[in-house]
Amino acid sequence: MKKIIYVFIAVLILPLITYGQHMRRDDKGPFKKIEELEKIKIIEALGMDETTTLKFFARRTKFREEQGRLFDDSNTLLNKMEEEVKSGTKNDAELKNDLSQYWEIQNKLEKHKEEFFNSLTDILSYNQITELIVFEKKFRDEIRKVLFQERQRRLK
């Protein structure tokens, strides 16, 4: 069963590798396939019924949109800080302020994630929420592993 899942993931990842660096963040092509696989696996792992599934994914979509905005803010600030460090035009006080803003965004990301999982208690049991957290970690690790293996294979 695991071999089938690995092959399926590899097939889904192949377009991602092919288009890799040429894709913009807005172009969801290969990522859409991975998201669909993840959704199916979440439904299976948590044993959700149709109503729960609809509620969960609506809430998760809203959560991910907000997380995306916070990630964009973080990346914008990091790019700004990178330019400031390269140019050497900012003094320590200004850089300290930028760092403070960066850590504030990072804290918001973590707090928002915690709030999302806490908000699920009305539709999922604590056991399901725990399974979800474990599933997401394993899924990300597996995708990362498949991508890394494919990259290593291509470099040989």
Does 90 have pLDDT greater than 90? Answer: no
Name the residue range of residue 20's domain: 1-47+134-156
State the total domains in the chain: 2
> What's the pLDDT at 94?
85
Residue 29 confidence (pLDDT) above 80: no
For residues 24 and 85, membership in a common domain is answered with no
CB 47 within 8 Å of CB 132:
no
Q: Is residue 19 part of a domain?
A: yes
Amino acid 154: pLDDT: 80
What digits encode the pLDDT tens for the residues 105-138? 999 999 999 999 999 999 999 999 999 999 999 9
Which of the pair, 60 or 23, is modelled with greater confidence? 60
Residue bearing tokens 């800080």 = 81
59 and 34 assigned to the same domain: no
- CA-atom Rg of the chain in angstroms: 19
Are 66 and 107 in a shared domain? yes
Residue 111 lies in a domain: yes
**CA distances to 25, 41, 64, 73, 145 from 68, in Å:** 10, 22, 6, 9, 23
